Amino acid sequence: MPARSACWRCVPRPSSSPCSGSPWRRRWSTRAMPDDGLKQWLAAPSVWQLDAGEAPRQDTPLPRRVDLAVLGAGLGGLSAALHGLEAGCSVCVLEAQRVGAGASGRNSGFVVPAPSRQTPASLERLLGEAAGPFVRGLQEAGTRLLQGPGASAVQGWAQPWDGEVDPAAVVRLADDWRRLGVEARAADRDALQARIGTDRYAGGLCFERGGQIDPYAAAQGLAERVRQAGGSLVEGCPALTLRPRGEGYLIRTPQGDLLADRVLVAGNAYGREASATTRRAISPLALVLATFAGDVPGEPLPFSDNRKDIWFFRRLADGRLLTGCFALPGLDRRQCEALLGQRIRHLYGVEPGPLQHVWAGWVGLTLNALPRIESRDARLLHWSGCNGRGLALSSLMGRLLVERLLGGDGLGLPPAAPSPWQGMPLLGWLGRLAIALDRRQRHRGLPAPVVSLSAS
């Protein structure tokens, strides 16, 4: 039986809706636990973690006092730690689980040198003169990742535009990105087909300094650099509480207390206990990722199109195809396979191979699509909100925020202004609604997905 396309009826109502006292709220509030299928995918290892196996844990003693404490051993936290060490600080990274256990080890591995949901014009409105330095720093951070562990030989990332395309508008957009210092160029249908392996898009942009990596390998490599530089990296050690103490902060952990002069909280959508503020400051959306057996022609660039219900693809080194979709309520394994298989048929004109592995992760959504920075005082910073493009961004933000903690101004990116919407259940609900409506509209022009009746 064909799967029903997700529509507004399938989207959970926000907990602030008129029926907030009903079972709708208890079941579908963004603060509620996800359904059983999604919980299994969120607990499953990513393809990167599965292929690498579990790294041996290094038993590192907790120091008594440091200049800089970082909560979270993802790319952002590890980048911050490394820059703190290079600045001459003593540094300790506290990780509640293992290095790369959060978003840094569970994403698609796309290295994108441009912020999500932004044009050069919108970025300049938000950041003013800091827009150029910010995106150039983002591009440089991506380049460093593409030269490190887990990097692929495939160079570049594309953003094709779905639907009708004004070629002149694409050229102007590419020109505007180049004016800010980002290497981008316009591509028509033929040029895109040569780069991404499908002729289904009429035009778009190619970012020559984007690319793809194994993000878990990148996180492990950065962790090793932190250790070699003299930093303490303590895994399985969540920060339980964080309180001012004298001229610094006292961090309580299961292994004892740590006193730090400065603290960076980098838990993002995976923050908990003392770092839960980073999750509360955003609206997390679940993204399901999957790998399929088989191959697609050529050496395609990784790409993500411009729709709200984003289509994205990349090829792994062994030929597997990686793609995914935002999780909407009721999406099970068979529906996921049917939905993503339909996309493969539409774009590449080939029958998808078997679905091999499925996992899920959290995407931290912010209202203006820029990172959200919160500062209680000059010694403590929280940041979150990668908006689905966290690899280059996390690496950049780690450096910038340590510069700010040490008295510099980084790129002058100010803390996000307080917003009555940010972090509220309603924002997450509106995001899922937009995705569901876009998915329904888009699928009206496609053949209905074929749902396998085999056991999930």
Give the model confidence (pLDDT) of 356-411 as tens digits. 999 999 988 888 888 888 888 889 998 888 888 889 999 999 999 999 999 887 66
Nearest-CA neighbor of 196 among 290, 294, 302? 302
pLDDT in the model for residue 31: 35
Task: Check residue 88 and give left, alpha or beta (phi > 0: left; psi -120 to 50: alpha).
Answer: left
| Other CB atoms within 10 Å distance of the CB of residue 202 | 17
pLDDT in the model for residue 303: 97
CA dist., res. 66 & res. 84, Å (int) = 11
Contact 82, 107 (CB under 8 A): no
Contact 380, 265 (CB under 8 A): yes
pLDDT in the model for residue 372: 85
pLDDT in the model for residue 419: 59
Nearest-CA neighbor of 182 among 206, 216, 217? 206
Nearest-CA neighbor of 185 among 111, 109, 108, 114? 114
CA dist., res. 70 & res. 235, Å (int) = 12
Phi, psi dihedrals of residue 24, rounded to the nearest 5° = -55, -45
C-alpha distances in angstroms, 450 versus 35, 290, 344, 403?
Answer: 23, 17, 12, 52
Residue ranges in the chain whose pLDDT is less than 70: 1-34, 280-281, 295, 297-298, 410-425, 445-456
Structure tokens at 64: 């008594």
pLDDT in the model for residue 183: 97
CA dist., res. 150 & res. 368, Å (int) = 31
Structure tokens at 308: 């709200």
Contact 72, 265 (CB under 8 A): yes
pLDDT digits (tens, 9 = 90+) for 322-343: 999 999 887 788 888 899 999 9
Q: What is the 3-state secondary structure (H, E, C) of the chain?
A: CCCCCCCHHHCCCCCCCCCCCCHHHHHHCCCCCCCHHHHHHHHCCCHHHHHHCCCCCCCCCCCCEEEEEEECCCHHHHHHHHHHHHCCCCEEEECCCCCCCCHHHCCCCEECCCCCCCCHHHHHHHHHHHHHHHHHHHHHHHHHHCCCCCEEEEEEEEEEECCCCCHHHHHHHHHHHHHCCCCEEEEEHHHHHHHHCCCCCCEEEEEEEEEEECHHHHHHHHHHHHHHCCCEEECCCCCCEEEEECCEEEEEECCEEEEEEEEEECCHHHCCHHHCHHHHCCEEEEEEEEEECCCCCCCCCCEECCCCCCCEEEECCCCCEEEEEECCCCCCHHHHHHHHHHHHHHHHCCCCCCEEEEEEEEEEECCCCCCEEEEEECCEEEEECCCCCHHHHHHHHHHHHHHHHCCCCCCCCCCCCCCCCCCCHHHHHHHHHHHHHHHHHHHCCCCCCCCCCCCC
Phi, psi dihedrals of residue 76, rounded to the nearest 5° = -65, -50
Note the residue count of the chain.
456
| Other CB atoms within 10 Å distance of the CB of residue 171 | 15
pLDDT in the model for residue 366: 83
pTM comes to 0.88
pLDDT in the model for residue 451: 47
pLDDT in the model for residue 326: 93
Domains of the chain: 1-60+283-365+424-456 (no CATH), 63-109+214-282+370-421 (3.50.50.60), 117-213 (no CATH)
pLDDT in the model for residue 377: 87
Phi, psi dihedrals of residue 18, rounded to the nearest 5° = -60, -25
pLDDT in the model for residue 15: 39
Amino acid (one-letter) located at 57: R
Structure tokens at 245: 């103490």
